[in-house]
Structure 1
């Protein structure tokens, strides 16, 4: 294993969000759907969801997609017992073109806990690191580049649109002012400090850090996440067999809204539930990230023969 990926591999050994709930619903579908069939895990990560499915269905095959090399290394190790049924592809899910229709298309959206916990990836202010935020480290634009290149108005629009942050103009003004005075930010902690200074003192030390929405917005912009999600959602019906299952886990409303809309309004989908699955109190206690998770499922219908 490459040295620069070894620490990330161990970090990716995490519990799959909503794993029990997802497997319970899948277990109620016809068994023949999964016999010698294909699973496309569009956001493979550490391979936790895929592992559950491969164990449950001995003839199910996997094509796992991920643009993060650390995730691919971790998933390959975790899924080694099923290696003869596993193919891992280095790609963004919106760019993938399957050669075979799948029984299941799964996506666990957003940034993963291992990515957040890795300081050198620059996704979080909890551990100081470079202002990076790229899910695919081979792409060019980092968060530092974005902050430097866009205008104050454009930055405010990004923070408002992708972070739903009401103080977006004040924050953008402060970020640009500090950038002009001190040059590029030397890390995530410095940026978080500048953002926090835009809030009243009573809010700065609350349960949720005041820079959370701004960091979310920058990450979404750097990775073009929402446009990529729209492209992916438009492709899922063509990836599925008749009766196949689309399963999408989201972590904030900007992701959940388009998933909900497509599953309800595209007549090629039949939603399996009116309200999304959410994590139990027990799961949240073990994995706090699952607190904001919402899972929606729909089956492929109206296939043209």
Structure 2
């Protein structure tokens, strides 16, 4: 299957990064190089593009797509949680822009055997890095009822989390749950029929999101990585983050807000004693896709782009 993924908010990302032709830019979620190729177009032979991805299929597709560009290109197979080490290995201290396009790619969703989709019957997997050992199978079959309930409620914001966890534990007493099809069937039975009839969207959507986040530790790595990125930005450099659900967006918004604050002393103090300095300034509010983009790419509907600039 060819690696295809429609980049979300492409024009807004490029405008937001305010690209210098001879600058250094890091796409921390390279994917098929949709955004990265647009960055590369703006760079001259002195510019430098670094792409990071943990998916071998993405690395292969991006390497091919980026071949025609004249800027220097480094593609690294890694998770962006290792950003500090990636930059150190490349002997780069400061860059002019970072891009994070969070979540799962269209390719990963559409490739049935990766186990990300509730629309295809496949082995329970959901690993973004296929070399990793921990998979959705381990979560679904290894977590106790309390822990399943927690991740479904916290990462999936699923109203029926407790009941679904109970049904999963009950089912696996007889046999392990090995496929996405089995899991979808269990979720359907756990959610009352009257609720399913009224609901919009697939009943398994939130549960699959929660398991995917748990398998790949998607939320746990965000705050530290954003702070690392800002520490490696040149003055005037930009960080751009695209999120696809409220949990990612809340973390991004809160980290940016905190890093944009100056004095953090209690308001009753007459003078500042904390000497806390703002590190970034926010570049406007969150940007959402246009109606036209949402019509052309339904997966863009929940996207938000937040941009900040290093002071």
Fold shared, TM-score > 0.5 on shorter chain: yes
Matched, 1:193 2:190: no
Matches within 5 A, 1:202-217: 202-204=194-196, 206-217=199-210
Q: Corresponding residue for 2:4? A: 13
Could you say if the C-alpha distance between residues 141 and 230 of structure 1 is closer, same or farther in structure 2, counting changes exceeding 3 Å? same
TM-score by length of 1: 0.89
- Partners of 1:203 and 1:210 within 8 A in 2: no
Q: Corresponding residue for 2:253? A: 260
Deviations 1:237-290 (A, max 9, x none): 11211110000000001100111111111121111012x111112111221110
Q: Corresponding residue for 2:20? A: 34
Q: Corresponding residue for 1:231? A: 224
Matches within 5 A, 1:95-174: 95-97=82-84, 98=87, 99-100=91-92, 101-174=94-167
How many residue pairs match? The answer is 285
Could you say if the C-alpha distance between residues 230 and 252 of structure 1 is closer, same or farther in structure 2, counting changes exceeding 3 Å? same
- Partners of 2:20 and 2:42 within 8 A in 1: no
Q: Corresponding residue for 1:45? A: 31
- Runs of 5+ consecutive residues of structure 1 not aligned to the other structure: 1-6
- Partners of 1:38 and 1:61 within 8 A in 2: yes
TM-score by length of 2: 0.88
- Partners of 2:284 and 2:307 within 8 A in 1: yes
**C-alpha distance in structure 2 between counterparts of 1:89 and 1:25, whole Å:** 24
Deviation at 1:84, TM superposition (A): 5.4
- Runs of 5+ consecutive residues of structure 2 not aligned to the other structure: 260-277
Match of 1:291 among 280, 301, 306: 301
Q: Corresponding residue for 2:15? A: 24
Query: More helix per residue: 1 or 2?
Result: 1
- Partners of 2:187 and 2:204 within 8 A in 1: yes
CA radius of gyration, larger in: 2
